[in-house]
């Protein structure tokens, strides 16, 4: 009888000709291990990828009290609909469609299974969009992970799904912020200490890795042991959210805020741009600014790909696209974006943020890349995540603010905020520089002009933080023989 019980799901898979059976991928043994105790519950189950509908019919019989939903790009799959089975036609590559599907399902979903295109980019984006819609205590499953090792399933993506899942394992373990394994209690403790945690750090209870299959369990916080979901906390968070919204609106009305973001399309540019946009969005800055001006340099094929990429990236977070783009195939360092910033400030009043994809010229795997990644995160912390502090300094009549002003007259890393009234006083930005003898300056030296340009006039500057040593912020510890230390505040929050 015990053996028969364990074989029940596999018999259903064989009955309905699902490739999850023992004659296919043999996933049923894993699913039965995970779902056996909840199969009698009333659940909502969504599977991406329908084909002949065998898996949906298998789930319908295995979960006799549940509603089964499917997603597929083939309109013919609609014919599979029957009692307790509903099909939505669309692509998992379309973030708007995924969000609309969730709205039609209404409540949070108990189990999501991705058996769709198997393209790494689709799997990663679907996970980002749909995991927040999984009910606390629910499951997000990705099938056929062996495809991650094949080139044809990694088109349009610089990150394989397996590589991305490794980062989620780090998030599950809170990236070393604690050594306590009691996830619920430690998350509460860290949040009370105002230590920043990303969404996955707060919500992944465990990850099970089987052959070809990954199961991600979302934390279910028990009302008896935690205060996360009590009505009192719900009211508190709603009030806090309204307060933050009011603050953002206040900043919006007081002064225009414009971002000028320099993008250089080499190496893993998609991954870095995605990472920086996520920081922009999660900090609340993207919602607070009036527009984001992207100066983009690269070869023509990359420029063509960029416009589609940035549109899809923004739409995966919000329907409010504030992006404007200028492109150039000529690599004049940061000229295209700084020149645009100067043009805008000459005829407008605003607070402007300038930053770029720091470290992009250092390929993944190089000895300098970990250092550059940490440097970039440090600069983003003070200029993007702490953007409201920068705005306050500009409100206090400082002309500009940034990190670590140096005798060479520049902010370290060339990330900074400035008032357009000060930018109006600066000399024009040029992509042809002359020395005292009116000879064109060597290309390699133009870079320093753009890094020093902000200080060609004498600004009333505010330095957010000044380190004791130059290039101090690498968590890898040793770089060129010197130890790099983060300031205490950054270590506590990151």
Q: What is the pLDDT of residues 70-108, one digit of tens each?
A: 999 999 999 999 999 999 999 998 889 999 999 999 888
The answer to whether the CB of 259 falls within 8 A of the CB of 384 is no
224-238, 290-304, 460-474: segment of lowest average pLDDT: 224-238
Query: Does residue 140 surpass a pLDDT of 60?
Result: yes
Domain that holds residue 478: 250-493
The band of 427, judged by pLDDT with boundaries at 50, 70 and 90, is confident
d(CA 384, CA 353): 9
Same domain flag for 204 and 276: no
Percent of the chain scoring above 90 in pLDDT: 50
Which pLDDT belongs to residue 240? 62
Query: Does residue 185 surpass a pLDDT of 70?
Result: yes
Sign of the CA dihedral running 102, 108, 113, 119: positive
The answer to whether the CB of 109 falls within 8 A of the CB of 44 is yes
Which CATH number goes with the domain that contains 298? Answer: 3.90.550
Same domain flag for 417 and 289: yes
> Which CB contacts under 8 angstroms, 24+ apart, belong to 429-437?
429/335, 429/338, 429/339, 429/341, 429/342, 429/453, 430/335, 431/330, 431/332, 431/335, 431/339
The band of 226, judged by pLDDT with boundaries at 50, 70 and 90, is very low
CA dihedral 367, 373, 375, 380 (to 10 degrees): 170
Among 167, 201, 218, the domain-final residue is 218
108-117, 365-374, 393-402: segment of lowest average pLDDT: 365-374
Ranges of H-type helices in 36-182: 54-62, 95-105, 120-130, 161-172
Q: What is the pLDDT of residues 55-71, one digit of tens each?
A: 999 999 999 999 999 99
Q: Which two tokens stand for residue 470?
A: 């130059």
**Residue 62 domain-assigned (yes or no):** yes
**Residue 243 domain-assigned (yes or no):** no
Same domain flag for 278 and 409: yes
What SS3 class is residue 173?
coil
Which pLDDT belongs to residue 223? 35
Same domain flag for 280 and 344: yes
Among 175, 194, 218, the domain-final residue is 218
Query: Does residue 33 surpass a pLDDT of 90?
Result: no
**Residue 241 domain-assigned (yes or no):** no
Which pLDDT belongs to residue 193? 80
Same domain flag for 182 and 49: yes
**Residue 454 domain-assigned (yes or no):** yes
Consecutive H or E run containing 70: strand 67-72
**Residue 354 domain-assigned (yes or no):** yes
Mean pLDDT of the chain: 82
The answer to whether the CB of 99 falls within 8 A of the CB of 77 is no
Which pLDDT belongs to residue 174? 84
Q: Which residues, other chains included, contact 289 with Cβ-Cβ below 8 Å and sequence gap of 6+?
A: 257, 258, 259, 322, 353
Which pLDDT belongs to residue 442? 47
Task: Label residue 71 exposed, middle or buried (CB < 10 Å: 0-12, 13-18, 19+).
Answer: buried
d(CA 312, CA 309): 5
Same domain flag for 202 and 255: no
Same domain flag for 314 and 175: no
**Residue 38 domain-assigned (yes or no):** yes
Same domain flag for 266 and 319: yes
Number of domains in the chain: 2
**Residue 488 domain-assigned (yes or no):** yes
Query: Does residue 465 surpass a pLDDT of 60?
Result: yes
Give first-to-last CA distance, the chain, whole Å: 52
The band of 234, judged by pLDDT with boundaries at 50, 70 and 90, is low
Same domain flag for 328 and 211: no
Which CATH number goes with the domain that contains 124? Answer: 3.40.50.150
**Residue 244 domain-assigned (yes or no):** no
The CA-based diameter of the chain, rounded to the nearest angstrom, is 94
pTM score over 0.85: no
Same domain flag for 303 and 442: yes
Same domain flag for 390 and 432: yes
Same domain flag for 166 and 286: no
d(CA 62, CA 18): 13
Please state the rounded mean pLDDT for residues 113-122: 92
Name the residue among 261, 409, 272, 411 with its Cα closest to residue 336. 261
d(CA 409, CA 178): 40
């Amino acid at each position: 009888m015990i053996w028969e019980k364990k074989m029940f799901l596999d018999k259903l898979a064989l009955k309905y000709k699902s490739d999850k059976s023992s004659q296919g991928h043999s996933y049923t043994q894993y699913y039965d291990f995970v779902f056996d105790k909840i199969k009698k519950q009333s659940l909502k189950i969504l599977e991406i990828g329908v084909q002949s509908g065998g898996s949906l019919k298998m789930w319908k019989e295995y979960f006799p009290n549940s509603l089964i939903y499917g997603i597929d790009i083939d309109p013919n799959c609609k014919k599979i609909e029957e009692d307790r089975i509903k099909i939505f036609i669309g692509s998992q590559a379309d973030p708007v469609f995924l969000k609309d599907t969730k709205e039609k399902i209404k409540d949070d979903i108990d189990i999501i299974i991705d058996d769709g295109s198997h393209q790494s980019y689709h799997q990663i984006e679907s996970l980002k969009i749909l995991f927040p819609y999984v009910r606390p205590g629910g499951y997000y499953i990705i099938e056929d992970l062996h495809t991650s090792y094949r080139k044809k399933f990694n088109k349009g993506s610089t990150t394989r799904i397996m590589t991305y899942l490794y980062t989620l394992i780090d998030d599950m373990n809170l990236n070393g912020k604690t050594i306590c394994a009691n996830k619920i209690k430690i998350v509460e403790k860290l949040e009370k200490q105002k230590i920043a945690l990303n969404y996955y750090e707060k919500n992944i209870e465990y990850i099970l890795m089987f052959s070809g299959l990954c199961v991600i369990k979302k934390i279910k916080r028990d009302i008896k042991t935690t205060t996360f979901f009590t009505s009192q906390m719900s009211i508190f968070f709603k009030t806090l959210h309204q307060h933050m919204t009011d603050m953002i609106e206040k900043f919006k009305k007081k002064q225009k805020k414009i971002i000028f973001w320099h993008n250089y399309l080499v190496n893993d540019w998609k991954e870095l741009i995605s990472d920086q946009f996520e920081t922009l969005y999660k900090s609340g800055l993207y919602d607070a600014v009036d527009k984001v001006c992207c100066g983009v340099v690269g070869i023509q094929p990359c420029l063509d790909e960029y416009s589609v990429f940035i549109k899809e990236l923004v739409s995966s977070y919000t329907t409010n696209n504030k992006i404007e783009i200028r492109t150039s195939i000529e690599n004049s360092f940061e000229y295209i974006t700084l020149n645009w910033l100067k043009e805008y400030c000459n005829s407008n009043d605003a607070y402007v943020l300038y930053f770029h994809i720091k470290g992009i010229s250092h390929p993944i795997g190089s000895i300098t890349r970990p250092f550059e990644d940490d440097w970039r995160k440090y600069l983003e912390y003070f200029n993007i995540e702490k953007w409201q502090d920068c705005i306050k300094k500009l409100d206090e009549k400082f002309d500009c603010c940034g990190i670590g002003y140096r005798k060479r007259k520049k902010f370290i890393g060339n990330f900074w905020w400035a008032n357009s009234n000060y930018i109006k006083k600066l000399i024009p930005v040029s992509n042809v520089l002359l020395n005292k003898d009116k000879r064109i300056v060597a290309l390699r030296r133009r870079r320093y002009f753009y890094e020093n340009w902000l200080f060609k006039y004498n600004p009333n500057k505010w330095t957010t933080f000044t380190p004791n040593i130059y290039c101090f912020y690498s968590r890898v510890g040793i770089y060129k023989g010197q130890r790099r230390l983060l300031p205490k505040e950054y270590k506590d929050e990151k």
